[in-house]
Each structure stands twice: as C-alpha cells, then as structure tokens.
Amino acid sequence: MKITVASGKGGTGKTTVTASLAAVWDRPLLAVDLDVEEPNLHLFLQPEISTDVEKAWMEIPVLDAEKCTLCGDCVNLCQFKAISLMISTLTLYPDMCHGCGGCMAICSKGALGKGQRELGTIHQGRVGETRFLSGTLRIGEAMSPPLMEAVKKKMDDILELEGRDAVIDAPPGVSCPALCAVMDSDVIVLVADATPFGLHDFKLAWESFSSLAKPTGVVINRAGMGTREIYTFCGENAIPILAEIPFDRKIAEAYSQGRIIAEVSAELGTVFSSLQKNIRALAAGDTGEVGDA
Ligand code: SF4
Ligand code: SF4
C-alpha cells in the first residue's frame, strides 16, 4: 500500500505527520521523500544514508549541425520553445527541454542525437528496519516531476521486491509536482490546520485531488487553535477526519529540535497509531471505522 501525505500549502505539518507515521508503522516500510525541491524528511527520521548516490538524467536532443538542413520541423513541433531557428542558425535550449523526444523522432535528417541533462540525485538509507528513499533536485534544475518519476520507479522496484508499504512525503501545494506525488498512491492523507488560510488551501487541495477518486482523509493539525470551519467543510463533503493533532507547545518544541512528535508522549503515540488504523480502514473502504466530522 502506498500512502501519500500531502497538503494545500507549506507549513501544515505534512513532513511531521509523515515522519511520525513512519515511526509507528507496524509493517515493513519504505519512507519516501518526494519533495525533491526541498527534501527534509531525513531531518526527522535521521536515516543512515548509503554513500552510493545515484544520479537521475533526462534525455534531451543534441544537434549535429552538419546534418541539419534548417527545415524548421523540430522548431514547429516543440511546444516548449526549446529550439529556435533564426536566419540560418538552429539553437537548442537544453534547460527548457521537457524530454518528450518529439524533435528527435521528427528529424528525418538524423541531425538530432541523444544527449542527457542531469536532474538530481537519488539517495537511499535505513533507519532500523525501515528503508528510506529520497530525491534531491539539482540546483538550477527547473522541473521536478522527471526526478520524482525516477524516485517513484525506484520505490516501485523496492516495494515489489520486498513487499513493503510506502509512506510518501509529497511536495506542498496543488501544482504539477504535488499531483505527480499523489497520482499513483492508494490513499491520500491531507494535512491541514484549522486557520482561515489553512482552510482556503485545504479546499484547493481537496478540489484538486478528489478528482483522482482515491480514498482520501484529513489530519487536522494544531486542532483547537482556529475555527470550526474546516470541520464543517469536511462534514459537508464527507471527508473522513483521520486524526487530530492538538495545538500544544510541546509539539512545537519537539519540531524545532527535529524530533518525531509521535515519540513526544504516550498520547501522541496513540494519535499516530490510531491514524495508521484509520488509514488501513480507509484503504479497505471501511469508512464506518474512520472518524468523521
Ligand atoms: S528537424 Fe532536423 S533538419 Fe530540420 S531543423 Fe530540426 S534538426 Fe535541422
Ligand atoms: S525533446 Fe521535446 S521538449 Fe525537448 S526540445 Fe525536443 S521537442 Fe522540445
């Protein structure tokens, strides 16, 4: 089972929830950080990272100017303006290429060969029996989904080979990277806080991800701090509330020290054990067992 922890905005406690869920998970687990632009799950889980770092690449075109007849077919095809033809000069812009391969396929003169652009690095590690996997986008690389896909491929290989579950920390927000993270998951856990801003961005996340028709529930963080509007919204839209994490100074202190909040107290340990149970029930379609608004 793949569980993706997502949120409509940054700062909701998404990574905190992912780390705590990983800490209490009672089956063999792979903890995955797909927030490749700003990976920070390792700060909480503190895995022992392997020194075997793998690089991820994207296939991009390379021009052989001697074969090019300046026909312009590749320029017209490229939707991303990654190729231009000015007077008698064909120019490629490797950083704008999305790696679709169309230009290489359309060039009948064989003037566009295959090159590579580095996307970033993939790291693996372990914390106890739990395996850890993350990606780190290369500085200057604008597109994170191709690296995320490479991390997801590695994740699927490990899950198939070892029969583990995966808990995945998604990028925040509702843009392409966030959708890339949630689209293959079996369960989506949205983390939201009960403030007006939190509600606004949670609604955006719900509108974006509910179209995927996957079992989805919410964890309300800093419960008791804001208004009851988020509970009303969940009730109106039949969104199960999987857990509530109280607004508590002890949690903020633990977070600032990089500690796993499920380990701060017995009560918080119970909150996350119960979250795990509710996620399993949600995945099984047993929503009667899951809390509601
Ligand atoms: S399609 Fe091939 S031959 Fe035509 S402009 Fe592009 S690279 Fe040159
Ligand atoms: S591979 Fe696709 S995106 Fe990249 S330059 Fe060619 S047509 Fe454009």
Residue nearest to atom 8 of ligand 1 (CA): 68
User: Do the domains 2-55+120-289 and 58-118 sit in the same CATH topology, yes or no?
Assistant: no
Question: Would you call 262 helix, strand, or coil by DSSP?
Answer: helix
Determine if ligand 2 sits within 6 Å of the CB of residue 90: no
pLDDT tens digit string along 136-163?
A: 999 999 999 999 999 999 999 999 999 9
Cα distance between residue 221 and residue 13, in whole Å:
7
Q: Which atom of ligand 2 is nearest to the CA of 60?
A: 1
Collapsing DSSP to helix, strand or coil, 174 comes out as: coil
Distance CA 216, CA 189 (A): 6
Write out pLDDT tens, residues 189-219. 999 988 888 889 999 999 999 999 999 999 9
On the question of pLDDT at 51 being above 80, the answer is: yes
CATH of region 2-55+120-289? 3.40.50.300
Bridge partners (DSSP) listed for residue 133: 32, 124
Ligand 2, atom 6: closest residue by C-alpha: 103
Q: Is the pLDDT of residue 293 over 70?
A: no
Cβ of residue 68 lying under 6 Å from some atom of ligand 1: yes
For the chain, where are the E strands, in sequence order? 2-6, 29-33, 48-49, 54-63, 83-86, 89-92, 112-127, 130-137, 165-169, 187-193, 216-223, 241-246
Ligand 2 nearest-atom number relative to CA 102? 7
> Which of 69, 78, 83, 108 to mutate for ligand 1's pocket (most ligand atoms within 8 Å of CB)?
69
What is the pTM for the complete model shown? 0.91
Centre of ligand 2 from the C-alpha of residue 61, in Å: 7
CB count within 10 Å of CB 67 equals 12
pLDDT tens digits, one per residue of 108-141: 999 999 999 999 999 999 999 999 999 999 999 9
Q: Where are the domains of the chain?
A: 2-55+120-289, 58-118
Are 22 and 31 a contacting pair, CB within 8 Å?
yes
Instruction: Give the up-direction half-sphere exposure of residue 206: CA atoms within 13 A in the CB hemisphere.
Output: 19
CA distance 97 to 68: 19
Tell me, in angstroms, the distance from the centre of ligand 1 to residue 46's CA: 50
Angle (CA) 27 28 31, round 5°? 110
Assigned fold of 58-118: Alpha-Beta Plaits (3.30.70)
Q: What percent of the chain lies above the pLDDT cut of 70? A: 98
- For position 291, what pLDDT does the model report? 55
